[in-house]
Amino acid sequence: MRIFLLLLLLNFGFLSFGQEAQSDALAYNTTYHNTTKSLKSKKKKESTFKAGEWLKFRMHYGALNASYATLHVKSDKINGVPVYHVVGKGKTTGWASIFFKVDDTYESYFGKEDGRPYKFVRKIDEGGYKKDLEINFDHEEKKAVLNDKKNKKKTKFDLQDSIQDLISAFYYLRNNYDADSLEVGKSITMKMLYDDDGIFNFKLKYLGKEILKTKYGKVECHKFRPFVQSGRVFKEQESLSLWVSADDNRIPIRISAELAVGAIKADIDGYNGLKHQFKIIMD
């Protein structure tokens, strides 16, 4: 049970998910297409983020301050296409690093105009468990090639509508969901590719608004519930909760999860370069 890998993935906002049973996946595929069509049909809004945005999260496993993780947005170009280049890093710290050392890097290059992923990199080292993957997305040919550099193996996938990688999905949703049209109990669904396991169906249920206390003060948030795979790691499919700021930034504020053994929590611990004012509720 690679707990610290889980901690690092959880802090990346909307990006924690599990593979549903095939019947469940088929049941919400229609919702996914309807949601995507609705997102595309809406008038384009101003981006919620900009190059230079930097977010830091602190993870706790019980009373243990387990690790820190960061997300940094940069500007770049791929084949002449202007893209955002997001670098996510996570490391265990203190006593946690003595018992289980983690040093992970995730990178995503996605279009500034449409949010489509062009390249995804995953380099992880977790107590000797290592992966070195790169995915290149060819939208003209509607193919994605996953290069497993460690095992010297390449795998091709057929691209599906509005597919995202592990990192680009978070920024795509930040820019495209309409907060005014969110309905309690309704779900946002989409497809993602980030590993050689193939394309996953991702489902995110809206639970309403809540006000959280943070190190910066009280923050109004939208609360979501990503559906995960119950069993070995999570207690239930709905064991994970995510709070996103209800201001124009839409940044993750807190993530919590009930695990098969214990519980974890990730909180915003630092930020810089936000495009919009970070709204704090004053008492």
Ranges assigned E (strand) in the chain: 54-61, 64-78, 81-92, 102-111, 117-126, 129-138, 143-148, 153-158, 187-193, 199-214, 217-226, 240-245, 252-258, 263-272
- If you write DSSP's letter for every residue of 57-82 in order, what string do you get? EEEEETTEEEEEEEEEEEEEEETTEE
Q: What is the identity of the amino acid at 268? A: I
Structure tokens at 225: 């519930």
Task: Let me know the angle formed at the C-alpha of 103 by 99 and 104, rounded to the nearest 5 degrees.
Answer: 135
The predicted structure's pLDDT at residue 31: 38
Sign of CA dihedral 78, 52, 212, 254: positive
Write out pLDDT tens, residues 161-174. 789 998 999 899 89
- Give the model's confidence band at 226: pLDDT under 50 very low, under 70 low, under 90 confident, else very high: confident
Return the pLDDT at 82: 97
The mean-pLDDT minimum among 50-64, 113-127, 206-220, 236-250 falls in 236-250
Bridging pattern class, strands 217-226 and 199-214: antiparallel
Confidence at 134, pLDDT banded by 50, 70, 90: very high
Q: Which residues have CB under 8 Å from 31's CB, separation 6+?
A: 187, 189
- What does each C-alpha distance from 88 to 12, 167, 202 come to in angstroms? 8, 8, 20
Q: To the nearest 5 percent, what fractions of the chain are helix, strand and coil?
A: 15, 50, 35
37-41, 175-179, 185-189, 245-249: least confident range:
37-41
The amino acid occupying position 238 is E
Q: What per-residue confidence (pLDDT) applies to 45?
A: 63
Reading the block at residue 156, the tokens are 């091709």
Residue, of 34 and 92, whose pLDDT is higher: 92
pLDDT of residue 46: 76
**For the whole model, what pTM was predicted?**
0.83
Rg (CA), the chain: 18
Q: Are 125 and 4 contacting, i.e. CB atoms less than 8 angstroms apart?
A: no
Q: Which pLDDT belongs to residue 262?
A: 64
CA distance 168 to 117: 6
Largest CA distance in the chain: 57
Give the model's pLDDT for residue 63. Answer: 64
The total of other beta-carbon atoms located within 10 Å of residue 89's CB is 17
